[in-house]
Amino acid sequence: MSLLFVTGTGTEVGKTAVTAALAALAVRAGRSTAVLKPGQTGVSATEPGDAEEVARLVGASLTTRELARYPEPLAPETAARRSGLPFLTLDQFTHAVGELTERHDITLVEGAGGLLVRYDHQGLTLADMAAAVEAEVLLVATAGLGTLNATTLTAEALRARGLRLAGVVIGCWPAEPDLATRCNLADLPTAAGAPLLGALPAAATATPGVPFADLAAAALAPALGGHWDADAFAAAHRP
């Protein structure tokens, strides 16, 4: 795939780490790679945002671009309105995607929060952006109790809009998974109606002595450029 949207079942679920893992494997495979963050909230003009974090983790040459930034840690529409800064527009977004996809083998788009978070006062969402450029979507989910409902709702929203869900990645797999977490390995694909394509360990962004691309390869399935095996992983954590 040359264009992939990364969204989540909510905020702080591991979208940036998963985006970085995808980018690291693409770069390692020799693919020119771009990462686009349509709207960044919660950081000042001088602080590094999610796109910069991806670049830090990948540690190699890739293109990053951010279209709008708002200082307060709020939903993009609310943050834009309170700051007095311009809303992101769909035309601005599609133009950036067109430029990046023309010049790169793969372009990764990381949303803010979940699929239906609003970016402007008229209700522009990441789902609208994905539909405008006919992109596939990768869903990042949490591992534990409550994730099945959030995953099902997001998957239904994608289907209702005619968007294809490529699969689900667990953004933060705990070192000591509880019963619900281990059971979810079997139940998440059913909830999503799409395959489970990876599980990043909780310390993925801060594991000393492990090259991030190696960690990404071990945590993502072959469909995403790695060698993670869903069946073997589930068997190893069978309740």
Q: In which band, very low, low, confident or very high, does the pLDDT at 210 lie, cut at 50, 70 and 90?
A: confident
Whether residue 195 is contained in a domain is answered as no
Whether residue 223 is contained in a domain is answered as no
Q: In which band, very low, low, confident or very high, does the pLDDT at 149 lie, cut at 50, 70 and 90?
A: very high
In contact, 106 and 25? CB cutoff 8 Å: no
In contact, 4 and 106? CB cutoff 8 Å: yes
Which residues, in sequence order, are bridge partners of residue 170? 141, 199
Whether residue 224 is contained in a domain is answered as no
Q: In which band, very low, low, confident or very high, does the pLDDT at 209 lie, cut at 50, 70 and 90?
A: low
The predicted structure's pLDDT at residue 22: 97
Domain that holds residue 99: 3-145+160-172
The predicted structure's pLDDT at residue 61: 84
What is the spatial distance between Cα 14 and Cα 190, in angstroms, rounded to a whole number?
A: 21
Q: How far is CA 4 from CA 80, 89, 133, 187, 226, in A?
A: 25, 19, 10, 24, 16
Residue spans of beta strands (DSSP E) within 91-195: 106-114, 136-141, 165-173
Whether residue 27 is contained in a domain is answered as yes
- pLDDT above 90 for 85: yes
- pLDDT above 70 for 81: yes
Whether residue 212 is contained in a domain is answered as no
What is the spatial distance between Cα 225 and Cα 61, in angstroms, rounded to a whole number?
A: 18
- pLDDT above 80 for 59: yes
- Residue 33 sits in a domain whose CATH number is 3.40.50.300
Catalytic center residues:
37
Q: In which band, very low, low, confident or very high, does the pLDDT at 196 lie, cut at 50, 70 and 90?
A: very high
The mean pLDDT value of the chain amounts to 94
Structure tokens at 104: 């790169």
The predicted structure's pLDDT at residue 104: 97
Whether residue 205 is contained in a domain is answered as no
Mean pLDDT of 157-165: 97
Model pTM score: 0.95
Whether residue 116 is contained in a domain is answered as yes
CA angle 55, 59, 61 (to 5 degrees): 75
- pLDDT above 70 for 160: yes
Between strands 3-8 and 136-141, the pairing is parallel
The predicted structure's pLDDT at residue 205: 78
Q: How far is CA 171 from CA 89, 128, 141, 180, in A?
A: 28, 23, 6, 16
The count of structural domains within the chain is 1
| Coil vs helix vs strand at 220 | strand
What is the spatial distance between Cα 203 and Cα 165, in angstroms, rounded to a whole number?
A: 26
| Coil vs helix vs strand at 23 | helix
Whether residue 42 is contained in a domain is answered as yes
How far out from the chain centre does Cα 27 lie? 17
What is the spatial distance between Cα 107 and Cα 190, in angstroms, rounded to a whole number?
A: 28
Mean pLDDT of 163-181: 96
Q: What is the pLDDT of residues 89-124, one digit of tens each?
A: 999 999 999 999 999 999 999 999 899 999 999 999
> Percentage of the chain surpassing pLDDT 90?
91
